[in-house]
Structure 1
Amino acid sequence: MKFKLKALTATLFLGSSLLGANAMAQLPQNATAIEMPAQSIQLTQEWDKIFPKSDKVEHRKVTFKNRYGITLVGDLYVPKGATGKLPAIAVSGPFGAVKEQTSGIYAQHLAERGFVTVAFDGSYTGESSGTPRNVPSPEINTEDFSAAVDFLGSLDNVNRDEVGILGICGWGGFALNAAISDPRIKAVAVSTMYDMTRVAANGYEIKMEANPKGPYERAPAQSADARYKAKLDMSNARWEASKDGYADLLPANNLDPKKDFTAETPKFIKEYANFYRTERGYHPRSVNSNPEHSWTVTGMLPLINMPILKYASELKAPALVVHGEFAHSRYFGEDAYKALGSKNKELYIVPGANHTDLYDDVNGKIPYDKFEQFFKANLK
């Protein structure tokens, strides 16, 4: 097997080298080089988070690249006065949010408890680079977590053998996927998680009730015909989108909690709007907050067709799955927990909490003690 692998590598290398040489030989003498303009990144220096700055941590903006060459921007939090090499945690999410919102809240709290943390914006969103803007990708967003691990492991005050990750909402699925693919990740926790590829392919597998009295009831997944129609519509939209570099955006989220709610509006939609579209959680760089932002028209295509968590049973790292008792998304966490192969895993249900209760500290539902205990027990 070792010989075959070396032979395959040599063949691929030789083939690509010859291809490159032949291609260069065939270039016409009047070939024109095309210069691609570089994307400039403007970093906000003032504190513009939705939460107050802690006096227990040191904070600074950082940048690092993923293996696709996209520059990611993060907020690094370090326990004030800490010495020696510390355990570290990379944090991101929710899907469509920015580091100035939920992930920053988690990162700062965990830094207060002794961890070096980085809350980062995923590729194509927030202050991170990547064009066109607001593009989701199951592969690249999984890679973003591994790139954050690369960054943390390069710091002098971090023990690279004690690095974990934490994903929130849609980035919970990407965090689990990253931990499955990257064995350097020593522990993974998720909070109020979604599997974005599952919801893109199947729709919401719950009854869309306006006011459920208890946990949401399950409902059948979207049919293959409905999935085909969605892919057909997005694929046909590529003709026009390609003329503008695939930058065309879907209609923006402009649901106004003060005037747009009706008796038929599903409860969890109201919960989202009451976070992202009010002073509680609004941030202008968030796809979910800004009525002028949205995802690209063709952005959900790979989420439908390229499921993550296929190898969940092969996860070896310790895993903590935290979800709210009354969260519409609870089934994502419960099903992921069942599928994970980790011998050390726990499902923790927060009593009385809905999905967005675990986004911030307004309702006091985020179980920081649980996250601290999990990471301190497993990052060592």
Structure 2
Amino acid sequence: MAMAQDVQVSVIAEASQMKQSSIAALQDDTRVFKINKNIQVLKVVFSNHYGFDVAGHLYLPANFDSAKKYSAVVVSGPFGAVKEQASGLYAQELASRGFVTVAFDQSMTGQSGGARRDMASPDIFTEDFSAAVDFVSNLKFVDPEKIGAIGICGLSGMAITAASNDVRIKAVVTSAMYDMSESISDHYKGEYYTDEQRLIVKKHLAAMRDAEAKHGGLIRGAHEIAVDAEGKAQTFATMFPDKLPVDANPVIKDFYGYYVGRAYHPRAINSNTSAWDSTAPYGFFNFRLMDNIKELSPRPVMLITGDKAHSRYFSEDVYQKAAEPKKLIVVKGATHVDLYDQMDKIPFDEIDGFFRANLK
């Protein structure tokens, strides 16, 4: 324990000169996955270029030596999750393999800043990845030429978009990918909107904005909006019911088992059963995340999905759009949510090898 404390003091001291960021001991550990006691974790806060304070956890490799220069990986996702869930698990595992890693909460969610809470933005969430790179690239024990990014589920599109323009990110991995701009603005549950349905959804969003302006604050609502047979927009104020019906959709059961069950965390939007701000879809109608994907090349991307994942088509679609070098891994027997925390399904050996080969 004394050695761990000495390392923490050393890292905190070395980082004390960094502007617009802070590093401190992790006092209240609420991570929901199995903790590797050989990996030290520090609480960090850094600012993005929109002025939001982004909260994260900095993971240090086993036998950490502050005199060395390490490769680093920044991690976020899923959409509506927090760093104490899947992103922290990925960060911890890569730290156990020798990488310095940072798992972070998206702006306006979790412990990250923002007067407006539980709001989503493709632009700001993309900026959060670059802000995380700002932070790690200025740590004395990180080689700024060896930085990668991982986006899980709904943050995959932001990780790719950030890397398409931020050339400091040398390689990108996505896991259980969702392209949230396509998912929110083009279809619901895989069924694409007709022009008439899109107009109905836009009118619903306009009504929500007007209601929030009159109300003076957040009104909860669905981030993906269905249109029923009568032409009415369908929304909800909570992500999940207190108890799922016996005949619930298997995909919903999978999400519920993770967020409300084994990985429950009170700060996660998806766990605390409250929905997003009802106007959150606006940005995803305005901006598309994959427009510049070909500009990622020649930096590589690896997309990981499961052969049983309902989201598989997102990874396959992005794989077709991306230029070389690129790699698609389809994990046999894996559902979408399996890739959040099932250690026998997440291909960490391939992720490790990918970053080792490309962060050099």
The TM-score with structure 1 as length reference comes to 0.81
Match of 2:308 in 1: 326
Match of 1:314 in 2: 295
Match of 1:5 in 2: none
1:364 is the counterpart of 2:348: no
Q: Secondary structure, in 3 states, of the residue corresponding to 1:136?
A: coil
1:133 is the counterpart of 2:113: no
* Cα contact 2:62–2:98 (8 A) shared by 1: no
Q: Distance in 1 between matches of 2:313 and 2:291?
A: 17
Match of 2:333 in 1: 352
Match of 2:3 in 1: none
* Cα contact 1:86–1:159 (8 A) shared by 2: yes
Q: Distance in 1 between matches of 2:176 and 2:71?
A: 24
Q: Secondary structure, in 3 states, of the residue corresponding to 1:186?
A: strand
AA in 1 matched with 2:358: N
Matches within 5 A, 1:207-222: 220-222=191-193
Match of 1:275 in 2: 258
Match of 1:231 in 2: 202
More strand by share: 2
AA in 1 matched with 2:263: G
Query: Once the 2 structures are TM-superposed, how far is the Cα of residue 192 of structure 1 from its aligned partner?
Result: 0.3
Match of 1:199 in 2: 183
* Cα contact 1:202–1:222 (8 A) shared by 2: yes
1:50 is the counterpart of 2:32: yes
Q: Distance in 2 between matches of 1:103 and 1:245?
A: 33
Query: Once the 2 structures are TM-superposed, how far is the Cα of residue 247 of structure 1 from its aligned partner?
Result: 1.9
Match of 1:148 in 2: 132
AA in 2 matched with 1:270: K
Matches within 5 A, 1:242-321: 242-250=213-221, 251-256=237-242, 259-263=243-247, 265-278=248-261, 280-291=262-273, 293-316=274-297, 317-321=299-303
Q: Secondary structure, in 3 states, of the residue corresponding to 1:96?
A: coil
Matches within 5 A, 1:118-197: 118-197=102-181
* Cα contact 1:132–1:245 (8 A) shared by 2: no
1:106 is the counterpart of 2:90: yes
Q: Secondary structure, in 3 states, of the residue corresponding to 1:187?
A: strand
Q: Distance in 1 between matches of 2:307 and 2:322?
A: 20
Change (3 A) 1:114 1:244: farther
Query: Once the 2 structures are TM-superposed, how far is the Cα of residue 244 of structure 1 from its aligned partner?
Result: 4.3
Q: Distance in 1 between matches of 2:78 and 2:181?
A: 14
Q: Which runs of 5+ in 2 are unaligned?
A: 1-24, 222-236
* TM-superposition CA deviations, 1:234-266 (whole Å, max 9, x none): 11121220134442222012324xx42243x32
Match of 2:231 in 1: none
Q: Distance in 2 between matches of 1:62 and 1:367?
A: 27
AA in 2 matched with 1:79: P
Change (3 A) 1:91 1:245: farther
* TM-superposition CA deviations, 1:297-342 (whole Å, max 9, x none): 111111123111112122211110000111000000000011112x
Change (3 A) 1:244 1:194: same
* Cα contact 1:246–1:298 (8 A) shared by 2: no
AA in 2 matched with 1:274: G
Q: Distance in 2 between matches of 1:297 and 1:150?
A: 31
- Percent of paired sites with the same residue: 43
AA in 1 matched with 2:238: A
Q: Distance in 2 between matches of 1:60 and 1:314?
A: 34
AA in 2 matched with 1:312: I
> C-alpha root-mean-square deviation of aligned residues, in Å?
1.5
Change (3 A) 1:78 1:175: same
Q: 1:86 aligns with which of 70, 76, 80?
A: 70
AA in 2 matched with 1:104: G
AA in 2 matched with 1:226: Q
Query: Once the 2 structures are TM-superposed, how far is the Cα of residue 268 of structure 1 from its aligned partner?
Result: 0.8
Q: Distance in 2 between matches of 1:181 and 1:247?
A: 32
Q: Secondary structure, in 3 states, of the residue corresponding to 2:239?
A: coil
AA in 1 matched with 2:142: V
* TM-superposition CA deviations, 1:42-91 (whole Å, max 9, x none): x9722111013212211110000000000000000011323311000000
Q: Secondary structure, in 3 states, of the residue corresponding to 1:55?
A: coil
Match of 1:377 in 2: 357
* Cα contact 1:322–1:348 (8 A) shared by 2: yes
Change (3 A) 1:245 1:178: farther
AA in 1 matched with 2:30: D
Rg (Cα) greater in structure? 1
Matches within 5 A, 1:5-20: none
AA in 2 matched with 1:375: F
Match of 1:21 in 2: none
Match of 1:97 in 2: 81
* Cα contact 2:78–2:153 (8 A) shared by 1: yes
Q: Distance in 1 between matches of 2:115 and 2:109?
A: 9
* Cα contact 1:234–1:301 (8 A) shared by 2: yes
Runs of 4+ off more than 4 Å: none
